[in-house]
Structure 1
């Protein structure tokens, strides 16, 4: 398949725009003044079959700065509702985002969405804009998560301008182009159930099933076919994907920061990067969002919040499935799926070929030790392979209580001895699942500072490292080291 040599050659499909108009408002994006392309993502362009040469054209800048529509697209802002910080917020929607259209790529379709592209009917009290600071963070985040193997939205382009935007201070505007197979959320379903409109809820559910989960139409072994079975199966698949996503987040020390139901993807993707963070010093109750005064979305609560959100989705589908017990039985599977996946991931991080019940205490004791010492999350795991090969101090130096760290390490080494696996083989396996590079807040901050000067160099460097985060690269040691002292002063909030 030949790459498109211009945007007009892309294969637009626009399936969401074919839904009834109650699901969105058609309106043009509001472009930035004197826009400049700060960065374009060649890997993301390949996903939609776009030739890299197109990224430097004036047409590309005009479309992804919001100045003209995507050729063949159908620009709109979607409506949805949701629970925010556990409280019903009513109608929400794309308050500063425009879906430009959907493009069929070599391996599937991708929706292209501008974030920061002006006000919509769903902006409420917002101005419809995004600032450079948050846009750089979102542009980098999806690529960082993809490099770690975590399901996520992606980013195609980052456009900046000198247009002023008022947040805590006056900042400059930017637009990031996000890519996802779908931007449908749990809150999309809550919207229609809260309005007691089962016909539109069914339309949405059928669209999602037919487009993304066609296997949900197939009768399960021993199951009596019924009209409502596909919706039960839909909840089951979303529950499974969400449980696996939570295991992925916990294993890499990622905190989303604002797990509202309107930020939960129906496809089990990491969606809406705002006040997220990868932990430096580990705390079980780490809160990455300065706006989260109650700690609702702390690291150790993320799995239970995900289940709470799934119950809201299940409650919405109850309008289509009268058998509440069937829905509840599906939701009851979450804990087992998450626990098994979490143990698999954490066992691999410890170099264990197979998880056994006694490994639970080994993992819990390490997490408690890390919490008590605020040991660096990423480096603690990465240096386990060094310790296994005789370089114990690399691991123990991360702990204030080095004796306790050494005692725990002895237990892990004894566990490894039981496996009888060659040390070099085990260490290599551990380094394949314990990243060296993650998008720490201070690294993102350095990229933001450079971007404010019009320099995309730090973005280039971070993408190079984060796309292959498990392999050490010479000359980039500072990107894999402990954060500087000034990083402790970085705060991210819902305005981020």
Structure 2
């Protein structure tokens, strides 16, 4: 395509997933969205696929990314998969409102473009196939915020809206968000064929994933065991990164778990504010299965579900178990690495686990704001406890903080930590800005009044989460009182 101007019509799409047999998907066209209009676009996401985000507001791109037109090389389809939801086998699921347009070749590999909210599919399960503006804004902002935090994630290219009414708890307006990822294959994609006792299709899918996404595994003694081990490690490390920034996914069903270890399907997510390891961000999750503290164990459980699905290909339970055994060490190693960085520690020493545990116990007892506490911790000075007042004031139990800070200072002194150097390093890993629910809600409410400026402003701030951005300090503030009434659930 060198020298050719890329337009919505000639978008250089391929569709590698369409090379799979027809049983893996249904070919269909998106359902047109009445009178679509541009809401928002991400410049970093657009750059990944060689697009200019400014052009996505043009009429042709609005038509394309709302599902009203299809590029000449597109082969739209929706994929089938199954899954465990809240620990129970749910049977066939699939892309109930998502349509894959195809993939674009990039220097880093092919990236798929998928429309979410593009209309009903054979997998909609009585749903309308639409997404509402509210949830589309949340997914768009969080996808890009997570990417800026360095956490593996699907990306969000753009949102297109419409005044079409969509019934959820109330009548809301429709939207389509364009998602991007190297692949949207999930753990549930493999479970689908295992539970249907279709080993041929199971092998076809596993070979496709290995050959297109993990070619380095093809030469392993048992490529399917290697695939399971790779998925376990990537999932473990991703969840460790969630824990380190206080992110809660909310719906860690196996159909929402990426075979690439990407954060996928942003529904009732949340970022921890007042710390509580038992916090449940999803109002639908009455039993707390997907609480913050449970996420690492649920990730392990999901890997076991994947291991069960891949067992016919792996061949021996012992080989599958060996692959699954990689999860916990990978999580522990990544979590240790991240916590050492968050506390500005350059070495690992005996007693570090106790230091970390003591810190989290203190945070739990005082329900301290997760993001602000770690950001402020970078200001601690080894030889000046008298300067701790702003940090101490975040906690009710100041005496408890003093006792823990004494241990922390001793630990820093043991490796001759330099305050200024340590603060710079800590500020690179402890974000100042995250997508708090109330910030998203403000942007949503303005957008519902057809004012989309807050989405763009918030996106710009979240794209630089580690920078001070003094002109936008209030975006790092604690949630206002009215935010305590905010609830997010699976209905989107």
Please give the range of the TM-score, normalised by the shorter of the 2 chains.
Answer: over 0.9
Shift of 1:3: 8.0
Partner of 1:222: none
Partner of 1:475: 471
Matches within 5 A, 1:283-298: 283-298=276-291
Task: Judge conservation of contact 1:10–1:104 (CA < 8 Å) in 2.
Answer: no
Instruction: For residue 409 of structure 1, give the secondary structure of its aligned residue in structure 2.
Output: helix
Whether 2:491 is the aligned partner of 1:490: answer: no
Q: Matches of 2:314 and 2:225 in 1, distance apart?
A: 7
Runs of 4+ in structure 1 displaced over 6 angstroms? none
Partner of 1:436: 432
Q: Structure 1: 5+ residue runs without aligned partners?
A: 220-224
Partner of 1:168: 169
1:302 to 290, 295, 314: 295
Structure 2 length normalisation: TM-score?
Answer: 0.97
Matches within 5 A, 1:6-405: 6-219=7-220, 225=221, 229-388=222-381, 390=384, 391-405=387-401
Shift of 1:380: 0.7
Shift of 1:31: 1.8
Task: Judge conservation of contact 1:387–1:394 (CA < 8 Å) in 2.
Answer: no
Deviations 1:287-328 (A, max 9, x none): 000000000000111011011000011101111122110110
Please report the RMSD computed on the Cα atoms of aligned residues, expressed in angstroms: 1.3
Instruction: For residue 470 of structure 2, give the secondary structure of its aligned residue in structure 1.
Output: coil
Q: Matches of 1:3 and 1:467 in 2, distance apart?
A: 30
Shift of 1:70: 2.9
Structure 1 length normalisation: TM-score?
Answer: 0.96
Shift of 1:2: 6.0
Shift of 1:125: 2.1
Q: Matches of 1:86 and 1:3 in 2, distance apart?
A: 50
Q: Matches of 2:72 and 2:154 in 1, distance apart?
A: 22
Shift of 1:53: 4.8
Deviations 1:218-246 (A, max 9, x none): 23xxxxx4xxx010111111111111101
Q: Matches of 2:70 and 2:12 in 1, distance apart?
A: 15
**CA 1:416–1:444 in structure 2 vs 1: closer, same or farther (change >3 Å)?**
same
Q: Matches of 1:41 and 1:448 in 2, distance apart?
A: 17
Instruction: For residue 159 of structure 1, give the secondary structure of its aligned residue in structure 2.
Output: strand
Deviations 1:259-298 (A, max 9, x none): 0000000000000000000011000111000000000000
Whether 2:473 is the aligned partner of 1:448: answer: no
Q: Matches of 2:427 and 2:465 in 1, distance apart?
A: 10
Q: Structure 2: 5+ residue runs without aligned partners?
A: none
Task: Judge conservation of contact 2:282–2:488 (CA < 8 Å) in 1.
Answer: yes
May I ask how many residue pairs the two structures share in their alignment?
A: 488
Task: Judge conservation of contact 1:156–1:177 (CA < 8 Å) in 2.
Answer: yes
Deviations 1:402-438 (A, max 9, x none): 2211221121111101110211111111111100000
